[in-house]
Amino acid sequence: MNPNQAQLLKEVMAADFTLIDLNLYLNTHPYDQNAIMLFYNCAQRAKILRNEYERLYGPLTAQSTPYKCPWQWINSPWPWE
């Protein structure tokens, strides 16, 4: 994986992790308006980063695999490689 791809992937991972953590917090604090706003803003940012990553380096989920032959989803590297 080239350094630019690794860097952008790291940003997607960070953005998504922010959502994971806020998600847990909000499950037990469902009336925290500020946290809800933060979640929403972070979700927007995560979506933009994800779209950018997928456009440049290929799909992060099978369902977002583009119309292209051969099927791109199974391409290396897998996360454990």
Partner 1 sequence: MWVYEKKLEYPVKIKNPNPKLAKYIISQYGGPDGELAASLRYLSQRFSMPTNEAKGILNDIGTEELAHLEMIGTIVYQLTRGVPADVLERVGLGAYYTDHDHAVYPMSASGTPFTAAYIQSKGDPIADLHEDMAAEQKARATYENLINLTDDPDVIDPLRFLREREVVHFQRFGEALRIVQDKLAEKPFYVKKPDCMNPAYKR
Whole-number Å distance between alpha carbons of 48 and 76: 23
Q: Which is nearer to partner 1, 34 or 45 (CB)?
A: 45
Nearest to 46 by CA among 73, 79, 13: 13
Taking the least distance from each CB to partner 1, the nearer of 30 and 34 is: 30
From 28-36, 39-47, 49-57, 70-78, span contacting partner 1 (CB under 8 A): 70-78
Binding flag, residue 79, partner 1 (CB under 8 A) = yes
Q: How far apart are CA 52 and CA 33, in angstroms?
A: 29
- Residues from 22 through 51 that contact partner 1 (CB under 8 A): none
Amino acid at 62: A
Closer residue to partner 1, CB minimum distance, 3 or 79: 79
Q: What is the DSSP letter of 61?
A: S
Whether the Cβ atoms of residue 42 and residue 19 lie closer than 8 Å to each other: yes
